[in-house]
Amino acid sequence: MAHSRVDLQTLLKTLCDNVYFQPPPSVQMSFPAIVYRRSDIKTEFADNSPYKNKKRYQVTVIDKNPDSDVPDKVLALPSCSYNRFFTAEGLNHDVYDLFF
């Protein structure tokens, strides 16, 4: 059964209160936060025809606390892999790829 983006939003809200889908720059975020966006679609083919599509999302955990437990919660999700870490404006960013 295919999941919707709203299902993903609901799931991520169980990990962190502040979840944002593709927020515009004008949004004032609260931290810790999860920001996510669709980044790709994996298509599987049979007889040269697509039969299965799986959406990939880039999920970023943003937190002032470098020892936050939210990144570990995201990494524990099925079909999730770690992508990278960076800091910006005094905030820690853990980036994941999640097929959902």
Each residue's pLDDT tens digit, 61-100? 999 999 999 999 999 999 999 999 999 999 999 999 999 9
Of 73, 71, 78, whose CA–CA distance to 92 is shortest? 71
How far apart, in whole angstroms, are the C-alpha atoms of residue 56 and residue 19? 17
Top-level class of domain 5-99: alpha beta
Residue 24 structure tokens: 């515009």
pTM for this predicted structure: 0.90
User: SS3 helix, strand, coil % of the chain, rounded to 5?
Assistant: 15, 50, 35
Of 20, 58, 19, 17, whose CA–CA distance to 37 is shortest? 58
